[in-house]
Amino acid sequence: MSASLVLVVVMAVMYAAGVYVMLERSLTRVLIGFLLVGNATNLLIFIMSGRPGSAPIVTGTASDEAMADPVPQVLMLTAIVINFGITALLLALIYRSWWLAQLGDEGDIVTDEHAEETTELTEETFRSSTEDEEAIQAALDASEHEDEAEGAQAP
Protein backbone atom coordinates (compact mmCIF):
# COMPACT_ATOMS: atom_id res chain seq x y z
CA MET A 1 0.00 0.00 0.00
CA SER A 2 1.15 3.46 -0.67
CA ALA A 3 -0.09 6.79 0.53
CA SER A 4 -0.52 10.24 -0.83
CA LEU A 5 1.41 12.44 1.56
CA VAL A 6 -0.73 15.47 0.80
CA LEU A 7 -3.86 13.72 2.06
CA VAL A 8 -2.10 12.57 5.24
CA VAL A 9 -0.92 16.11 5.92
CA VAL A 10 -4.32 17.70 5.38
CA MET A 11 -5.87 15.07 7.61
CA ALA A 12 -3.37 15.90 10.36
CA VAL A 13 -4.09 19.62 9.95
CA MET A 14 -7.84 19.00 10.23
CA TYR A 15 -7.34 16.91 13.36
CA ALA A 16 -5.14 19.60 14.89
CA ALA A 17 -7.58 22.40 14.10
CA GLY A 18 -10.53 20.30 15.22
CA VAL A 19 -8.99 19.40 18.57
CA TYR A 20 -7.91 23.00 19.10
CA VAL A 21 -11.47 24.32 18.84
CA MET A 22 -12.97 21.34 20.61
CA LEU A 23 -11.09 22.28 23.77
CA GLU A 24 -12.93 25.61 24.07
CA ARG A 25 -15.86 26.25 26.31
CA SER A 26 -18.29 27.42 23.71
CA LEU A 27 -20.47 24.51 22.72
CA THR A 28 -20.73 25.77 19.16
CA ARG A 29 -16.95 25.67 18.96
CA VAL A 30 -16.99 22.16 20.33
CA LEU A 31 -19.41 21.23 17.60
CA ILE A 32 -17.28 22.86 14.90
CA GLY A 33 -14.38 20.87 16.27
CA PHE A 34 -16.54 17.78 16.06
CA LEU A 35 -17.27 18.52 12.39
CA LEU A 36 -13.59 18.99 11.59
CA VAL A 37 -12.53 15.88 13.48
CA GLY A 38 -15.37 13.94 11.86
CA ASN A 39 -14.27 14.97 8.39
CA ALA A 40 -10.66 14.19 9.29
CA THR A 41 -11.66 10.72 10.43
CA ASN A 42 -13.52 10.11 7.18
CA LEU A 43 -10.40 11.20 5.40
CA LEU A 44 -8.35 8.72 7.45
CA ILE A 45 -10.56 5.84 6.36
CA PHE A 46 -10.47 7.20 2.85
CA ILE A 47 -6.67 7.17 2.81
CA MET A 48 -6.81 3.50 3.73
CA SER A 49 -8.43 2.73 0.37
CA GLY A 50 -5.09 3.38 -1.33
CA ARG A 51 -4.55 4.96 -4.69
CA PRO A 52 -7.44 6.32 -6.79
CA GLY A 53 -9.20 4.05 -9.19
CA SER A 54 -12.36 3.83 -11.19
CA ALA A 55 -15.74 3.89 -9.49
CA PRO A 56 -16.65 0.57 -7.87
CA ILE A 57 -19.41 -0.12 -10.33
CA VAL A 58 -19.14 -3.29 -12.34
CA THR A 59 -19.19 -2.45 -16.02
CA GLY A 60 -17.81 -5.61 -17.45
CA THR A 61 -15.04 -3.74 -19.22
CA ALA A 62 -11.32 -3.51 -18.65
CA SER A 63 -11.70 -0.53 -16.34
CA ASP A 64 -13.04 -2.91 -13.65
CA GLU A 65 -9.45 -3.95 -13.07
CA ALA A 66 -8.53 -0.49 -11.79
CA MET A 67 -11.48 -0.29 -9.40
CA ALA A 68 -11.05 1.60 -6.14
CA ASP A 69 -11.47 -0.41 -2.94
CA PRO A 70 -15.21 -0.29 -2.13
CA VAL A 71 -14.96 -1.44 1.50
CA PRO A 72 -13.81 1.88 3.03
CA GLN A 73 -16.42 3.61 0.91
CA VAL A 74 -19.20 1.56 2.45
CA LEU A 75 -17.93 2.29 5.94
CA MET A 76 -17.73 5.99 5.21
CA LEU A 77 -21.08 6.32 3.54
CA THR A 78 -23.00 5.37 6.65
CA ALA A 79 -20.53 7.31 8.79
CA ILE A 80 -21.27 10.48 6.82
CA VAL A 81 -25.02 10.16 7.37
CA ILE A 82 -24.67 9.32 11.02
CA ASN A 83 -22.29 12.25 11.47
CA PHE A 84 -25.06 14.44 10.17
CA GLY A 85 -27.55 12.94 12.61
CA ILE A 86 -25.23 13.44 15.56
CA THR A 87 -24.52 17.03 14.47
CA ALA A 88 -28.24 17.72 14.48
CA LEU A 89 -28.58 16.16 17.92
CA LEU A 90 -25.72 18.24 19.31
CA LEU A 91 -27.28 21.37 17.83
CA ALA A 92 -30.56 20.51 19.49
CA LEU A 93 -28.68 20.03 22.75
CA ILE A 94 -26.92 23.38 22.37
CA TYR A 95 -30.16 25.17 21.63
CA ARG A 96 -31.94 23.45 24.47
CA SER A 97 -29.28 24.28 27.05
CA TRP A 98 -29.09 27.87 25.85
CA TRP A 99 -32.83 28.27 25.87
CA LEU A 100 -33.39 26.57 29.20
CA ALA A 101 -30.59 28.37 30.97
CA GLN A 102 -31.65 31.71 29.49
CA LEU A 103 -28.03 32.40 28.72
CA GLY A 104 -28.83 35.21 26.30
CA ASP A 105 -25.70 36.99 25.15
CA GLU A 106 -23.51 34.64 27.14
CA GLY A 107 -24.18 32.23 24.32
CA ASP A 108 -23.39 28.62 24.92
CA ILE A 109 -20.43 28.74 27.25
CA VAL A 110 -20.15 25.75 29.54
CA THR A 111 -18.93 26.48 33.02
CA ASP A 112 -16.51 24.49 35.12
CA GLU A 113 -19.16 22.90 37.26
CA HIS A 114 -16.64 21.49 39.72
CA ALA A 115 -14.41 24.54 39.95
CA GLU A 116 -15.69 25.51 43.39
CA GLU A 117 -15.41 22.07 44.90
CA THR A 118 -12.88 21.12 47.52
CA THR A 119 -11.89 17.77 48.91
CA GLU A 120 -13.96 18.48 52.01
CA LEU A 121 -17.07 19.14 49.95
CA THR A 122 -16.57 15.94 48.02
CA GLU A 123 -16.13 14.11 51.27
CA GLU A 124 -19.48 15.43 52.43
CA THR A 125 -20.99 13.08 49.88
CA PHE A 126 -19.95 10.17 52.05
CA ARG A 127 -21.17 11.67 55.29
CA SER A 128 -24.51 9.97 55.22
CA SER A 129 -22.97 6.51 55.32
CA THR A 130 -20.59 7.59 58.06
CA GLU A 131 -23.51 8.78 60.14
CA ASP A 132 -25.33 5.51 59.56
CA GLU A 133 -22.32 3.68 60.81
CA GLU A 134 -21.95 5.88 63.87
CA ALA A 135 -25.62 5.25 64.64
CA ILE A 136 -25.19 1.49 64.71
CA GLN A 137 -22.02 1.82 66.75
CA ALA A 138 -23.89 3.97 69.26
CA ALA A 139 -26.69 1.43 69.42
CA LEU A 140 -24.20 -1.31 70.18
CA ASP A 141 -22.41 0.75 72.81
CA ALA A 142 -25.72 1.51 74.54
CA SER A 143 -26.11 -2.14 75.38
CA GLU A 144 -22.70 -2.47 77.02
CA HIS A 145 -22.48 -3.02 80.72
CA GLU A 146 -21.91 -0.05 82.98
CA ASP A 147 -20.99 -0.46 86.58
CA GLU A 148 -23.37 1.93 88.32
CA ALA A 149 -26.35 0.67 86.37
CA GLU A 150 -25.59 -2.86 87.45
CA GLY A 151 -25.49 -1.76 91.04
CA ALA A 152 -29.04 -0.45 90.80
CA GLN A 153 -30.29 -3.64 89.21
CA ALA A 154 -28.85 -6.13 91.68
CA PRO A 155 -31.50 -8.62 92.75
Partner 1 sequence: MAIILLAFLVLSVLTPLLTRLLSTRVFYLIALLPAAAFGYTLTQTPTIAAGDAVTERIEWMPQLGIALAFRVDALAWLLALVVTGVGALVLVYCARYFSADEPGLGRFAAFLLAFAGTMYGLVTADDIFVMFMFWEITSVLSYLLIGHYTSKRESRGAALQAFLVTTFGGLVMLIGVVMISVEAGTTSLALIVAEPVTGPVATWAVLLILVGALSKSALIPFHFWLPAAMAAPTPVSAYLHAAAMVKAGIYLVARLAPGYADSTGWMPVIVTLGIWTMLVGAWRAMRQYDLKLVLAYGTVSQLGFLMIVVGFGTRDAALAGLALLLAHALYKAALFLIVGIIDHRAGTRDWRQLSGIGRRRPVLAALALVSVASMAGIPPLFGFVAKEAVFTSFIDAGATGNGWGWIALAGTAIGSVLTVAYSARFFWGAFATRPEVPSTPLASDRWGILVAPGILAVFTVALGPLAFLLDPFLAVSADAIDDGGHAHLALWHGVEPALALSAVVLAAGFVLFWRRKSIARWQEGVPSWIDAGLGYGSTVRFVDRIAAQITHFVQRGGLPQYLATILVVFVLALGFAAAVNRTWPDAVVLWDYPGQVIIALVMGVAAVMAARVGQRMTAVLLAGVTGYGLVALFAFHGAPDLALTQALVETMTLVVFVLVLRRLPPKIAQHNRPVRRKRRALIGILVGAVMGTIGVIALGARQAESIAADLPRLAVEEGHGNNIVNVMLVDIRAWDTMGEISVLIVVATGVASLLFVSGRNPEILRVGASKKRRSRQQRRRVLDDPHVSNEGSAVTRQSWLLSASTIAAKNRSILIEVLVRLLFHPAIIVSIYLLFAGHNAPGGGFAGGLLAGLALVARYLAGGRYELGEAAPIDPGKILGLGIILAVGTAVASLFFGGLPLESAYFTADIPVLGHLSFGTSTIFDIGVYLVVMGLALDILRSLGSEIDIQRESGEGDGDGDGVPDGPGSEPEPAAQASSTEVSG
List the interface residues with partner 1, window 108-137 (CB under 8 A): 108-115, 117-120, 122-123, 125-126, 129-137
Q: Which amino acid is at 44?
A: L
How many angstroms from the chain centroid is the CA of residue 124?
28
Contact 108, 91 (CB under 8 A): no
Instruction: With CB under 8 A as the rule, give the number of residues binding partner 1.
Output: 126
62 binds partner 1 (CB under 8 A): no
Name residues contacting partner 1, limited to 13-42 (CB under 8 A): 13-26, 28-30, 32-33, 35-36, 39-40, 42
Contact 104, 92 (CB under 8 A): no
Contact 112, 31 (CB under 8 A): no
**Minimum Å distance from CB 48 to partner 1?**
6
**Minimum Å distance from CB 84 to partner 1?**
5
Give the residue among 66, 75, 88 at the shortest CA–CA distance from 44.
Answer: 75
61 binds partner 1 (CB under 8 A): no
